[in-house]
Amino acid sequence: MPVGTQGTVKAVTKDQLLSTKPQIILGNTYHLYLRPGTEVLKHFGGLHRFMNWEKPILTDSGGFQVFSLAQSKEIEGKTKPEVIVTEEGVKFKSHLDGSWHFFTPELVIDIQEIIGSDIMMPLDECPPYPVSHQFAEESLKRTVRWLERAKKHKKNDWQALFGIIQGSTYEDLRKESTLRTVELEMDGYSIGGLSVGEPAELMYKMTEIVTELIPKSKPRYLMGVGTPENIIESVDRGIDMFDCVMPTRNARNGTLFTHYGRLNIKAAKHKFSEEPVDKDCDCYTCKNFSKGYLRHLYNAQEITALILGTIHNLRFYNKLMEDIRNSIKNSKFKEFKREFFEKYLK
For the annotated catalytic residues, the residue numbers are 60, 243
Sequence-distant (6+) residues with CB within 8 A of 167 are 136, 140, 173, 174, 175, 176, 177, 178, 193, 206
Least distance from C-beta 36 to its own copies, angstroms? 4
Which C-beta is closer to its own copies: that of 50 or that of 204? Answer: 50
Amino acid identity, position 1: M
Question: Of 153, 205, 211, which Cα lies nearest the Cα of 182?
Answer: 211
Sites of contact with its own copies (CB under 8 A): 6-16, 31, 35-36, 40, 43-44, 50-52, 271-272, 274, 284, 288-290, 292-293, 296-297, 299-300, 302-304, 306-308
Q: How far apart are CA 14 and CA 25, in angstroms?
A: 11
Residues written for the chain: 346
Which C-beta is closer to its own copies: that of 50 or that of 129? Answer: 50
Sequence-distant (6+) residues with CB within 8 A of 276 are 285, 286, 287, 289, 290, 291
Which C-beta is closer to its own copies: that of 209 or that of 307? Answer: 307
Least distance from C-beta 50 to its own copies, angstroms? 6
Phi, psi of 63 (to 5 degrees): -55, -55
Least distance from C-beta 8 to its own copies, angstroms? 4
Least distance from C-beta 117 to its own copies, angstroms? 17
63, 65, 66, 71: CA torsion to nearest 10: 180
Least distance from C-beta 305 to its own copies, angstroms? 8
Residues 290-301 as b/e (b if ≥16 CB within 10 A, e otherwise) read bbebbbbbbbee
Q: Is 256 helix (H, G, I), strand (E, B) or coil?
A: strand
Question: Of 91, 95, 90, 101, which Cα lies nearest the Cα of 79?
Answer: 95
230 within 8 A of 299, measured Cβ to Cβ: no
Least distance from C-beta 320 to its own copies, angstroms? 23
Q: Is the peptide bond before 130 cis (omega within 30 degrees of 0)?
A: yes
Q: How far apart are CA 265 and CA 254, in angstroms?
A: 6
